Structure 1
Amino acid sequence: MSLELDRRLADVGTRFRIFPQPRFLQKTDGSGPLFAEPETVTVSVEPAAMRAGPGDDRMFVVDAIGKLPYNNFFRPPFRGSARPPVQPGQDGHFDQLDPSSREFSAATMYATVRRVLDIWEDYFGRAIQWHFESDFDRLELIPLIEWDNAQSGYGFLEFGFGRKPNGTIDHERPFCENFDVLAHELGHSIIFAEVGVPGSPFDEGVDYGGMHESAGDLVAIVASLHFHSLVDHLLDTTKGNLLTINGLDRVGELSDSREIRVALNSRRMSDVGDEPHERSLPLTGAIFDTMVEVFQQDLVAKKLISEDLRTRSTNLPGTAHDLIDIQAEFAAAYAGNEAAFKDSLLRARDYLGRLLAVTWGAVSPDFLTYHGILRAILQADREITGGENAEIIRACFAWREIAPVPTSMLLRQHTIANCGFVAGRGPAVATADSPTGHPIPSPRSNGASAVVRS
């Protein structure tokens, strides 16, 4: 699994540098950037197979000049003017680029998308084929267009810039350097490729839309936890206490982008409507909670925390005194055991990545429901662990109120009278009232005389 991914790629892949989170984010004490330096990552493409751009056989960067955003009438491939493709260093790698340069931004966009694809193909255990493969063999990446927005579409990703408070373009905040946003958008492509789209015009796709946004967030969250600097910061800040209110507040400080914060929410199905981003919150929360519960279960198994501490942090005590005590106990347990806590979190991360890959590879997009996703996740856990985490999964989804809707046929009761087991002699005969041949119970019958034999 992905604990081995970087070891496998270290000697064969191509090196880039990526900021784990946007470089404009500041530490809470105002002492400087949260992540002052980019982190070196290695993608699966060998330097000899890397193309200038950067690009490879799956994707390529085009730094377009004067390009307008794609729309329903203007689509890939881009055929206009473009800046010269970014070249690798003499050693074939791209980790020598100056972070203040335009070339760094273009290389970061490629490296982020390639890295996220590598991670998720590792979890799937196979290549993820593009959903647009019938028209294009490679994903087009356009990093820096003069636009205060970004978008993904059929065969492309194109990114502009953030906005200043006055509404103008903020060139200090290029979206192509925002790992969360890029990973989220690639997540949509992964779902289109692996799950597909509803095929019936009568399918409103309410839960399908929520699942799509949730999947984009989860692709980004799991991928971001492959940055050692981010994982170290997360654990050093929370001491492994990821489910209490203090933990939620501190993790939220990792980023002001929605992808990280969105997992740390208290929304239940009764709190949300049909809008996809809003509806995604309970599903994302249930799945993220599952990862944290698996993480803490491993801490208990390693005798790093007690079962009592795990239970109290999971149940979200209602007083400030409880929260202070819980945080102090986690801090005491974390001190001196930092490497063991990190190992447990990375193992929980990889369990979640594999769980989602198996789930997404199994669900149908047609008339999809969150309850159907829950059943697919339970089946995936049986495949991966033999059902070891089933109770955790059920509890996390139950708290989020993810269950069959009250009108679901799954909740329909069937008495023996409903099933046609009533008193009578001789074979059942199909009639106009009973076209299947099952006897119709008498209105006066209470079923007491029915005889059921195996």
Structure 2
Amino acid sequence: MSLELDRRLAREGTRFRIFPQPRFLRKDDGSGPLFPEPEVVVVSVDPTAMRAGPGDDRMFVVDAVGKLPYKDFFRPPWRGSSRPPVQPGADGHFDQIDPASREFSAATMYATVRRVLDIWEDYFGRTIQWHFESDFERLELIPLIEWDNAQSGYGFLEFGFGRKPNGTIDHARPYCENFDVLAHELGHSVIFAEVGVPASPLDEAVDYGGMHESAGDLVAIVASLHFHSLVDYLLESTKGNLLTINGLDRVGELSDSSEIRIAFNNKRMSEVGDEPHRRSLPLTGAIFDTMVEVFQQDLVAKKLISEELRERSTNLPGSALDLAEIQAGFTAAYLGNEAAFKESLLLARDYLGRLLAVTWSNLSPDFLTYHAILRAMLRADRELSGGANAAIIRSCFAWREITPVPTSLLVRNHTVASCGLESADFVAAQPADQQIPVQRPERATFISPRMI
């Protein structure tokens, strides 16, 4: 999201409060909550256009009573009992609500979804129309049902609670207050709206499924970087050495030691199967690495770190001594240049957001492959930067073994003979009295996947 848009929203939007990460997460030394207070955010809806719930013309909260999770034959809208809608303060804003109240859970669920949608519509440069628009005008948000799970579906998001170690519901950990989980689920809606779904029943959609899960994680990662408190914590704890285990790469943290997936990972395509969540890891890792390397490239351009330090930090793994020396180099460079490091990280964040928006806008869901995503990303980079980051993108994807499959027509060799040219050229070169008629082989008929 551009800084100009943030400034405009501060003047015109509606205020809420959101915890950047779940409030139960503790500092590394165990001294207290990682984020003890929610952060004020502003959504793009004017207070005069807000509806109680909260709600607006795109989405609304209904705090359902006695609701079971939606199933295939039990879908929106909810027609049962619900608690009274959350009301704004006298000034039309919702930032006065007590974080210990049930009303806060409803308000923060709306604010999270609305904020993430604002961020990504800014990157796309247009309204993201719901994929369920033929049936529903607005997205239904259900914050707190008695269920140890959460789900997104056709026209709705509904969230329950986390689990205790014994498997029972943990009411102290509502999913609707977990920014990353909500952002991830909204990411699926973005992909359904902007990429669509495969049309052919013959399409096994293996890479499409992995792309969907990866996109959800990336929507959450980029959106989380719009919390200044999280960005400041991230840089202060890493000193800009982002190719370490850090708060940014843990997506959807469910406890102090558990998260849904890790963006900073070493998984390659040869190490994952077809299960969508596992298959998403190399793609997410390649794109996460791209953002980090663009960030570090900007640091080098501004002479904040050396090219040698950048190369050492991006060519991991190394020995414990190597890692310590790399961290020491970043620490020395960061101290006294905190604002400049933050500016470079926000520039890399916005570059990645725009890069993904352009890439996703130009993908076909039919027989999608990771290699097609790579090519679309290179085209997006040419559109955005004139190809300035192409080498970074290629190297990050190559390390993850994201290449055309061996049987792809893209990598098939075409000789003169296979093109039916060698025999004709040979005949034409002979004296007329020595020419022998040559029977051309019949051309193979190529059947595209769409025709099968």
Q: TM-score range by the shorter chain?
A: over 0.9
Q: What code does the residue aligned with 1:170 have?
A: D
Native 8 Å contact 2:250 2:262 kept in 1: no
Contact kept, 8 Å, 2:23 with 2:35, in 1: the verdict is: yes
CA distance in 1, matches of 2:55, 2:370: 37
Contact 2:128 2:194 in 1 (8 A): yes
Kindly state the Cα deviation for residue 434 of structure 1 after the two structures are TM-superposed.
2.8
Letter aligned with residue 434 of structure 1: E
Residues 250, 188 of structure 1: alpha-carbon distance in 2 compared, 3 angstrom cutoff: closer
Query: Which of 427, 431, 450 is the equivalent residue of 1:424?
Result: 427
Q: Aligned residue for 2:19?
A: 19
TM-score, length basis structure 1 = 0.92
Distance 1:78-1:344 versus aligned 2 partners, 3 A rule: same
Q: Post-superposition shift, 1:165?
A: 1.2
Displacement of 1:8 in angstroms is 1.8
The count of corresponding residues between Structure 1 and Structure 2 is 432
SS in 2 for 1:126: coil
Contact 1:251–1:261 (CA under 8 A) maintained in structure 2: no
Q: Which residue of 2 aligns with 1:151?
A: 151
Secondary structure, aligned partner of 2:427: coil
Aligned counterparts of 1:188 and 1:10: Cα–Cα separation in 2: 28
* Distance in 1 (alpha carbons) for counterparts of 2:153 and 2:406: 36
Segments of 5+ residues of structure 2 without an aligned counterpart are: 445-452
Conserved 8 A contact 2:141-2:156: yes
Structure 1 position 255, deviation (Å): 6.9
Q: What is the percent sequence identity of the aligned residues?
A: 80
CA distance in 2, matches of 1:424, 1:287: 53
Residue of structure 1 equivalent to 2:211: 211
Q: Deviations over 1:139-166 (max 9, x none)?
A: 0000001111111000000000111111
**Could you tell me which residue of structure 2 aligns to residue 434 of structure 1?**
442
- Hey, what's the Cα distance between the residues in 1 that align with 2:16 and 2:359? 31
* Correspondence for 1:248: 245
Q: Which moved more, 1:320-329 or 1:287-296?
A: 320-329
Contact 1:220 1:259 in 2 (8 A): no
State the partner residue of 2:62.
Answer: 62
Runs (4+) of structure 1 exceeding 4 A deviation are: 249-255, 257-261, 429-433
CA RMSD of aligned residues (A): 1.9
- Matched residue of 1:413: which SS? coil
Check the 8 A contact 2:162/2:174 in 1, yes or no: yes
2:272/2:278 contact within 8 Å kept: yes
Shift of 1:293: 0.2
| Contact 1:221–1:260, Cα closer than 8 Å, also in 2 | no
282 and 379 in structure 1: CA distance in 2 versus 1, 3 angstrom threshold: same
Shift of the 217–76 alpha-carbon distance from structure 1 to 2, 3 Å rule, reads same
Contact 1:13 1:46 in 2 (8 A): yes
Question: Secondary structure in 2 aligned to 1:17?
Answer: strand
For 2:382, the equivalent position in structure 1 comes to 382
Shift of 1:48: 0.4
Question: Which structure 2 residues correspond to residues 19-418 of structure 1 after superposition, within 5 A?
Answer: 19-243=19-243, 247-248=244-245, 256-257=253-254, 262-418=262-418
Q: When the two structures are superposed, what TM-score results if normalisation uses the length of structure 2?
A: 0.92
1:449 alignment counterpart = none
Q: Is the 8 A contact 1:313 1:326 kept in 2?
A: yes
In structure 2, C-alpha distance between the alignment counterparts of 1:41 and 1:220, rounded to whole Å: 16
Question: Is the contact between residue 251 and residue 262 of structure 2 (CA under 8 Å) also seen in structure 1?
Answer: no
Assess, with a 3 A threshold, how the Cα gap between structure 1 residues 139 and 359 changes in structure 2: closer, same or farther. same
Query: Structure 1 66/418 Cα, relative in aligned 2: closer, same or farther at 3 Å?
Result: same
**Deviation of the 1:250 alpha carbon:** 6.5
